């Protein structure tokens, strides 16, 4: 279980403390456990909890212990920092009460292996278009977006506006495309700015906010936004690479790998983004119709290093002759890997 997921679960938890009465073990289960154990507890990503005996012990104290401490090696989170003692007690009792009901889980009946945790592989990357988090991207990256504003809160029943309360805006990438090659690389490309926004390694996305848990139940959360599960290896910054308003033309699959096509003014670009040799390393292959030299302002940061197979990098700017600008490859290596 990585930090960002735990954190978001935690945020969710602190929001709901007031609304969940401790006695409602079933509600705690529905909110925190159903995404992995299924809404009826019959298993999804996590094991079926309706068997008469379970692996980590079937007594109430043993169940409480496994809920409190989790099974870090096997993706069962530790709940002691997230749920209150009363909630852990209630949900443990709920687990105890469904044990022995012997439900046939979806995995057993071969019915559905669908989870909110989509996964690709090196040979078969997967692509998702969805709302993505901004991961703290600086405003300067959103040059071709407009700025949302909080507006006065409206009461539909009276048709009036609240003098103080507002509907806030939240961070998010509206036109994102997320791609995953398994644990080695995931990244987020933006179809509005036409640029790679960030990359990470490890698990891909938690889609529960948008897809809901497994096959059913509560498929709605306010933000409907994917959650990045792995630690970021690269987050971009700085001005756009190319001048002119970007226009996204689409993408083509080259051996299953998306190659993004876009225009910036007269410049036509295709960009293929692939995993490098180490986890989180990103290899960006650009093809353009450049007929004059290009200077490309590169993102800067302590956390990653950018190399180009063409031209020269001086003071964070890549200078390419026309010929070089037609085909060049940037490799972005996370410094943590180098260390």
Partner 1 sequence: MKTFTLILGLFASAISQLSAGSYKIEAIAVPHYVVPEVGGLGFTPEGELVVALRRHGILMAQPSEDPTDFPWRAFSTDSLHNPCGIQIISKDEIIVSQMPELTRISDTDGDGIADSYENVADSWGVSGNYHETNALVPDGEGGWYVAVGTASHNGPTFEHTRGTFEPMGRIGRNFSAVPWKGWVVHIDSEGNSTPIAGGFRAPNGIAMDQQGHIFATDNQGDWRGTSPLYHVEKGNFYGHPSSLVWDKEFTASVSVNPLQYYIDDFEQYQEDRTRAVIEFPHGFICNSPSEPHFDTTGGSFGPFAGQAFVGDIAGDRILRCMIEEVDGVLQGAVVKFIDGGIGGGTNRLAFSPDGKSLYVGQTYRGWGNLAEGLKRITFTGEMPFDLQKIALQPDGFRLTFTKQLDQESAGQLANYSAKSYWYKSHHQYGSPQMDDRELPVESVTINGNEAVLVIPGLEPDRIVELNLADTLLAEDGTPIAHGLICYTIRKLKP
CB 96 within 8 A of CB 63: yes
User: Contacts for 107-113 with beta carbons within 8 Å, 24 or more apart?
Assistant: 107/43, 107/44, 107/48, 108/43, 108/48, 112/214, 112/215
Residue 319 in tokens = 């200078």
Q: What is the CA radius of gyration of the chain?
A: 24
Non-local (6+) Cβ contacts of 238 within 8 A are: 140, 141, 297, 298, 299, 300, 316
Residue 307 in tokens = 């190399």
Complex with partner 1: residue 209 or 324, whichever CB lies closer: 209
Q: Which of 149, 163, 164, 314 binds partner 1 (CB under 8 A)?
A: 149
- Position 152 contacts partner 1 (CB under 8 A): yes
- Distance (Å, rounded) from C-alpha 90 to C-alpha 177? 40
Nearest distance in Å: CB 115, partner 1: 10
- Position 56 contacts ligand HEC (CB under 6 A): yes
**At 157, is the secondary structure helix, strand, or coil?**
coil
Nearest distance in Å: CB 54, ligand HEC: 4
- Distance (Å, rounded) from C-alpha 26 to C-alpha 175? 37
- Position 112 contacts partner 1 (CB under 8 A): yes
- Position 191 contacts partner 1 (CB under 8 A): yes
Q: Which of 27, 37, 195, 263 binds ligand HEC (CB under 6 A)?
A: 37
Complex with ligand HEC: residue 28 or 264, whichever CB lies closer: 28
Nearest distance in Å: CB 81, ligand HEC: 12
Q: Which of 52, 147, 164, 314 binds partner 1 (CB under 8 A)?
A: 147
- Distance (Å, rounded) from C-alpha 38 to C-alpha 213? 7
Q: Which of 126, 135, 313, 327 binds partner 1 (CB under 8 A)?
A: 126
- Position 45 contacts ligand HEC (CB under 6 A): yes
| Strands 327-334 vs 282-288: parallel, antiparallel or unpaired | antiparallel
Q: Which of 30, 42, 95, 267 binds ligand HEC (CB under 6 A)?
A: 95
The DSSP annotation for 172-188 comes to -BTTEEEEEBTBT-EEE
Q: Which of 38, 43, 77, 232 binds ligand HEC (CB under 6 A)?
A: 77
Site residues for partner 1 per CB under 8 A: 110-114, 118, 126-131, 134, 139, 142, 145-149, 151-152, 154, 156-157, 159, 161, 167-175, 191-192, 207, 210-212, 215-217, 219-220, 222-224, 248-253
Site residues for ligand HEC per CB under 6 A: 32-33, 35-37, 45-47, 49, 54-56, 63, 66-67, 71, 74-77, 79, 91, 95
């Amino acid at each position: 279980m990585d930090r960002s997921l735990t954190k978001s679960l935690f945020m969710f938890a602190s929001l709901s403390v007031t609304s969940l009465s401790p006695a409602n073990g079933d509600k705690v289960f529905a909110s925190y456990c159903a995404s992995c154990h299924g809404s009826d507890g019959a298993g999804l990503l996590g094991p079926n909890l309706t068997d008469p005996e379970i692996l980590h012990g079937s007594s109430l104290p043993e169940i409480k212990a496994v809920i409190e401490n989790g099974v870090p090696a096997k993706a069962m989170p530790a709940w002691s920092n997230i749920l209150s003692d009363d909630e852990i007690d209630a949900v443990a009792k709920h687990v105890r009460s469904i044990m022995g009901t012997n439900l046939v889980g979806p995995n057993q009946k071969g019915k559905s292996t669908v989870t909110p945790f989509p996964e690709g592989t090196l040979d078969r990357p997967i692509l998702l278009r969805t709302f993505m988090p901004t991961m703290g991207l600086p405003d300067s990256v959103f040059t071709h977006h407009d700025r949302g504003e909080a507006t006065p809160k409206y009461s539909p029943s009276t048709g009036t506006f609240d003098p103080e309360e507002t509907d806030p805006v939240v961070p998010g990438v509206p036109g994102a495309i997320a791609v995953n090659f398994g644990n080695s690389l995931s990244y987020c490309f933006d179809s509005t700015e036409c640029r790679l926004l960030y990359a990470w390694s490890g698990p891909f996305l938690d889609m529960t906010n948008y897809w809901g848990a497994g096959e059913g139940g509560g498929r709605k959360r306010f933000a409907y936004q994917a959650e990045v599960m792995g630690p970021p290896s690269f987050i971009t910054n700085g001005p756009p690479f190319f001048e002119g308003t970007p226009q996204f033309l689409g993408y083509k699959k080259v051996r299953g790998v998306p190659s993004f096509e876009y225009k910036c003014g007269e410049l036509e670009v295709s960009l293929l983004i692939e995993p490098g040799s180490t986890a989180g390393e990103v290899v960006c292959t650009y093809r353009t119709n450049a007929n004059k030299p290009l200077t490309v302002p590169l993102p800067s940061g302590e956390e990653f290093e950018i190399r180009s197979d063409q031209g020269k990098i001086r003071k964070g700017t890549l200078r390419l002759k026309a010929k070089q600008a037609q085909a060049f490859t940037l490799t972005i290596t996370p410094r943590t890997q180098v260390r």
